Amino acid sequence: MRWRRAALPAGRPGPARPPGRPPAHGLIEDFSMRRPYPALLALLAFSGYTLFTLLQAEQSLLQFGVQLLSRPDTAQVVIDLYLMALLASVWMLNDARRRGRSVRSVLPYLLLTAVFVSIGPLLYLVVQGWRRPSALPGRRR
């Protein structure tokens, strides 16, 4: 995987960038958004496992959540998970705005994130990864 460095302030010399490569805006991973295969693999595997466990569960998803929050040790894990879900949601919203898309276009991913946490961002990575890079405002192919 290749990482691009954040853009440096004007007047400061930075690392040379290959010709035809757009300027970096923050730390962006090239690999996942251009080739969503790792995200697709994770999405399919985890979605399949989630479906398998939901079909075999003896209680509803809501009852399971309440049970997890009833003990401090498992509650800490759930809180940690949802903090990461919040960060992923903010990232998806910012990415959609940067791409010139409306907040409404991200709502399905946010709902999936609220219920299944990682499935929402993984699906977002897969769907956005199949879009052509030239669809981004200000980017060249």
| Segment-wise mean pLDDT, segments of 10 residues, the chain, 141 residues | 54 56 50 75 96 92 91 96 97 95 96 95 94 56 45
Does pTM top 0.85 for this prediction?
no
What whole-number distance in Å separates Cα of residue 43 and Cα of residue 48? 8
What whole-number distance in Å separates Cα of residue 82 and Cα of residue 88? 9
Task: For residue 17, tell me if it sits in a domain.
Answer: no
Q: What is the pLDDT of residue 11?
A: 57
Residue 58 burial (10 A CB sphere; 0-12, 13-18, 19+): exposed
Q: What is the pLDDT of residue 30?
A: 47
Task: For residue 58, tell me if it sits in a domain.
Answer: yes
Q: Which structural domain, as residue segments, surrounds residue 45? A: 36-131
Q: What is the pLDDT of residue 47?
A: 96
In the chain, the number of structural domains is 1
Task: For residue 137, tell me if it sits in a domain.
Answer: no
Task: For residue 138, tell me if it sits in a domain.
Answer: no
* Encoded tokens for 129: 């990864």
**Spatial contact of 89 and 119, defined as CB atoms under 8 Å apart:** no
Task: For residue 67, tell me if it sits in a domain.
Answer: yes
**Spatial contact of 31 and 129, defined as CB atoms under 8 Å apart:** no
Q: What is the pLDDT of residue 61?
A: 86
Task: For residue 85, tell me if it sits in a domain.
Answer: yes
Q: What is the pLDDT of residue 130?
A: 83
